[in-house]
Amino acid sequence: MDKIKLLQSRRNEVLAAGNAVRKAIAGLVDEDSFVELAGFSFSKNDFYGEEAAGEGVVTGFATVEGNPVYVAAQNFDVLSGGVSERNCEKILKCLDLAEKNSTPVVYILNSLGVQIGEGVTVLEGIAKLLSKAAKLHGVVPQFAVVNGEVYGQSALLAACADFTFFLKNGVLAADSPLVISAKSGKNLAKEAVGGAKALDKTNLVSFEADSMAQVHETIAKIMDVLPDFSSVVVENGADLNAAFPALNQKCSADALIAAVFDKDTFVEVGKNCSEEVRCVLGRVGGISVAAIVTGGEEPVSLNENNVAKITAFTEFAAYYNLPFVSFVNAQGIRADLETQNSLVMKNIFKLFETYDLLDNAKISVIYGSAIGLGYTLLAAKSAGFDYSYAFADAKIALFDSEKGAEIEFSGEKKADKAKLAAKYSEENSDPINAAKNGYIDNIVEPQYVKQYLVASLQMLLK
């Protein structure tokens, strides 16, 4: 028997069974960089009476803009990407190597669920896999790409990942969308159940992407910011003394982000979840930074979803030793029954716990309002912020102007309510009051915010 010809035949069989998934991998990683692992791992599927070439998953290692990564890609063309015990074992080998070599992991997900016929055996395999992925959380970055339909327990890999990308055809659900829709008494398309737009309260959608090439570009940007895989300070030609006069006239969240972050260095994470909170990774004056921007035209009211989003992002910053900046335009907990009967207070306490993990520079910039809990949670010195700024037109107070006026001037005529609110705002929420007590280190013109940030980051950087 000609072993070379037999090898070629077997290789062609495996490649034919994974043509589409290998094309997806090739679009994600650097050209010709993918090296497959366990390429001839097969097992008998007794239920279907056939061998599943490649076990429904392709694994290996590659590079993304020169950065090494391990890749585990579910192969939908083999038993609909069905998860099996051997399937899980292949991915586990990748995760073991990723841990050993301190290398990021990319999951390309596309599976309709577990392979029928394995029973509890596959559940044990999934438990091992998910436990390992959980142990790697905060040890190496994990990226997930929803490359089609992902149902059942495979969806939990997306939840474990630090960043999850949804391609246009991406649908993610804990069960079949048909089952979820029917049990909800509705008749919905799968995209309306598990598409990126439908998951706007889950914090599972880090990015929406048009192609694997866009995923490649975004992963490269994130890796460039992380101190473990790039220098925390780089010379990128950014003007460290740049001023932005337009901020003195109007300081929106968009304008602030564009002014503060160096051009083409930043990405915003989780745009479609709690849009009133912005989470941004990038460089400021060449320095790696993780930043949250709360509010916009109006101060944000806190609820369980936006606080959970802040907490997850803050935790990531802590794990990877990133300087952390909080741009604040926020007030207290949203005053409604839905928020009252939610996890909001538990989530707020979790955020305070997470702050304790941050070991690098922590800076707050009050660019709008910091009212009540909005100040306590996102700007207070006693919450762990090393340096605090406030814009000259910022508002810092125990209450918003209307409530504060009602308390402060309770004996005045009700007809003067609007004037009293304005008076309270002018006299009591001026940031100079907080600065007098040492809680605000400097009151600045908005146009110079980047200069102050760069200077303080240079001093506080660890």
Sign, CA torsion 407/409/410/416? negative
Mean pLDDT across the stretch 216-239? 95
Q: What is the pLDDT at residue 63?
A: 98
pLDDT digits (tens, 9 = 90+) for 275-304: 999 999 999 999 999 999 999 889 999 999
Mean pLDDT across the stretch 249-256? 94
pLDDT digits (tens, 9 = 90+) for 416-434: 656 555 555 555 678 888 7
Mean pLDDT across the stretch 255-273? 96
450 close to 244: Cβ distance less than 8 angstroms: yes
Structure pTM? Answer: 0.90
Q: What is the pLDDT at residue 348?
A: 98
pLDDT at 70 over 90: yes
More confident residue, 314 or 430: 314
**Could you tell me the pLDDT band of residue 19, with boundaries at 50, 70 and 90?**
confident
Mean pLDDT across the stretch 352-370? 96
List the one residue out of 453, 108, 72 whose CA is nearest residue 256. 453
Q: Which helix (H) or strand (E) holds 453?
A: helix 449-460
Distance CA 439, CA 271 (A): 32
Distances (CA, A) of 241 to 83, 103, 398, 447: 54, 36, 34, 11
266 close to 281: Cβ distance less than 8 angstroms: yes
Percent of the chain residues past pLDDT 90, beyond the cut: 75
Percent of the chain residues past pLDDT 70, beyond the cut: 86
Q: How is 313-353 classified by DSSP, letter by letter?
A: HHHHHHHTT--EEEEEEEEEE--SHHHHTSSHHHHHHHHHH
How far separated are the first and last CA of the chain, in Å rounded?
A: 63
Q: What are phi and psi of 233, to 5 degrees?
A: -130, 130
Q: What is the pLDDT at residue 404?
A: 44
Sort strands 287-294 and 277-284 into parallel, antiparallel or unpaired.
antiparallel
**Could you tell me the pLDDT band of residue 405, with boundaries at 50, 70 and 90?**
very low
Question: Whole-number mean pLDDT of the chain?
Answer: 89
pLDDT at 367 over 90: yes
**Could you tell me the pLDDT band of residue 150, with boundaries at 50, 70 and 90?**
very high
Q: Which range (39-43, 189-193, 373-377) has the least confidence?
A: 39-43
Q: What is the pLDDT at residue 227?
A: 93
33-67: buried (b, 16+ CB within 10 Å) or exposed (e) per residue? bbebbbbebbbebeeeeeebbbbbbbbbbbebeeb
272 three-class SS: coil
More confident residue, 181 or 429: 181
